[in-house]
Amino acid sequence: MTEAAIEQRQPGSAVRREWRRFTPGQRLARFAVYLGIAAAVVLSLQTIEIIPEFLYDAPEQMRDLFERMWPIDFAYYPQGVHGAMMETLHIATLGTIGSVVLALPLGLLAARNVTPVPLVNYLAKLLLVASRSVNSLVWALLFIAIFGPGALAGTLAITFRSIGFVGKLFGEACEEANRGSIEALTAAGAPWLSVLRYGYWPQVKPAFWALVLLRWDINVRESSVLGLVGAGGIGVALNTAMNLFQWERVAVVLLAIFTVVIIAEVIVTQIRKRVL
């Protein structure tokens, strides 16, 4: 792990060794990182625009906001919130499933031991990085411009955003697979599909299910904001309530989102405990 740098004083006489935890090169690199972080923070603090009046009445504004949210308008739930919440869950689940379908081949192409062609690896990784770098809100805007507002744009946005995540981690899991059974299958003459199905799949199955569940959990949260730009789901209800300044309804929407996210996390933890 850490390389010890051993210094010797006068050679030939009593040898004095001094143990240092890091080599000079490592120390320089670590110092450069600290300096870089300090410089970045100081620069950002200097150039960021802070409007002092806003900071001064911030506590009062927050109190005002919470006062307007009370009493929470639970009666709004059945008509306005429930349908939208279900739509959000469908967007998240369908998006995750779609992304898995598309990401599996890309992930296999990006894994160096499955596809030994470096150019294909590089291209696949490039596609995965591009899919990850664009935020799901931006994907939603793109798909709204193409397919019109609604849940279709939202599902496609979630799908394309998740491809990068699922593909990258799946490719890395495949790269870490044990070569033993793969070699045995290839030596027995198995076609490549069988090698994938019986050699790689049993080994990557735990990691695969773990990351699919994690991505589903994250997608439930991401789907809730897609409606803010018009891509369907609970975000539409949130946007409407906010634009009409109906803060009690905003409160019930936020509460619904919070409950669903907590339930999704509980489900994911239970599945992980039993299956993995």
Partner 1 sequence: MSASAPARSPFATNWGARVGWLVLLVYVVYATSTLDFTWRRFVDGMEHAQVFLGRMFPPNFENWDAILKGMKESLEIAVLASFTGILLSLPIGLLAARNLMPGWVSWTARGVIALARAFHPVIVAIIFVKAIGFGAIAGVMALIVASIGFIAKLFAEAIEEISLKQVEAVRATGAGFMNVIFFGVLPQVLARFIGFSTYQFDSNVRNSTMVGIVGAGGIGAPLFVAFQRFDYDVVAAILIAIIAVVFIAEVVSTRIQRIFSA
List residues binding partner 1 (CB under 8 A): 1-3, 22, 26, 29-30, 33, 37, 40-41, 43-45, 47-51, 53-55, 58, 61-62, 65, 86-87, 90-91, 93-94, 97, 129-130, 133-135, 137-138, 141-142, 145-148, 150-152, 155, 198, 221-222, 224-225, 228-229, 232, 238, 242, 254, 257-258, 261-262, 265
Q: CB of 155 within 8 A of CB of 94?
A: yes
**Cα 182 from Cα 185, distance rounded (Å):** 5
Quick one: residue 233, left, alpha or beta (phi over 0 = left, psi -120 to 50 = alpha)? left
Residue nearer to partner 1 on the CB measure, 174 or 234: 234
Residue nearer to partner 1 on the CB measure, 80 or 131: 131
Least separation in angstroms between residue 228's CB and partner 1 is: 7
Least separation in angstroms between residue 132's CB and partner 1 is: 8
Q: Where are the alpha helices (H) located in 148-246, listed in sequence order? A: 151-175, 179-187, 192-194, 201-226, 234-243
CA distances from 94 to 43, 158, 159 (A): 43, 9, 8
Least separation in angstroms between residue 97's CB and partner 1 is: 6
Least separation in angstroms between residue 64's CB and partner 1 is: 9
Least separation in angstroms between residue 13's CB and partner 1 is: 33
Residue nearer to partner 1 on the CB measure, 21 or 179: 21
Least separation in angstroms between residue 105's CB and partner 1 is: 19
3-state secondary structure of 149: coil
Structure tokens, 149? 């507002």
Q: CB of 192 within 8 A of CB of 125?
A: no
Residue nearer to partner 1 on the CB measure, 173 or 220: 220
Structure tokens, 48? 């960021």
Residue nearer to partner 1 on the CB measure, 111 or 256: 256
Q: Which residues of 67-92 are buried (b: 16+ CB within 10 A; e: fewer)?
A: eebeebbeebbeebbeebbebbbbbb
Q: CB of 201 within 8 A of CB of 178?
A: no
Residue nearer to partner 1 on the CB measure, 15 or 184: 184
